[in-house]
Amino acid sequence: MISGGRLKWTATVQKAANTVDALGRRNVTFTTQGTMRVDLRENGSTEQTYADGVAVVARWEIRARWQNVARLAITELDRFVVRGKTMRVNSIINLDERDRLAVIDCTEVV
């Protein structure tokens, strides 16, 4: 279990749209699903080519209670907004398969 004292940031969860366009591709719109308390940890950043130029890509680790992840039905398609940073979810891990702690690997393009 994660200690309540570590959960000092509020994360807003943005759910990806379930609709598709005329070509069958998923729409890239997001709607606010809800909020939850999280622990935010930086895992470093790198400068790399991105789209048509160079960008700084920061990696973040979000730790939260598994019950909140299940309640909001968070998937790898969704986004998190924590402290003004919008982060894309790379993976969600149920630590030790105990349904207590979720470790969410995220990427932020600055």
**Per-residue model confidence as pLDDT tens digits over 28-47:** 889 999 999 999 999 999 99
Q: Is 4-109 CATH 2.40.10.270?
A: yes
Q: Which 3-state string (H, E, C) describes the chain?
A: CCCHHHCCEEEEEEEECCCECCCCCECCCEEEEEEEEEEEEEEEEEEEEECCEEEEEEEEEEEEEHHHHHHCCCCCCCEEEECCEEEEEEEEEEHHHCCCEEEEEEEEEC
Domain residue spans in the chain?
4-109
pTM listed for this prediction: 0.86
Q: How much is the mean pLDDT over the chain? A: 91
Please give the pLDDT value at position 1: 63
Given a cut of 80, whether residue 4 has pLDDT beyond it is no
**Per-residue model confidence as pLDDT tens digits over 86-110:** 999 999 999 889 999 999 999 998 8
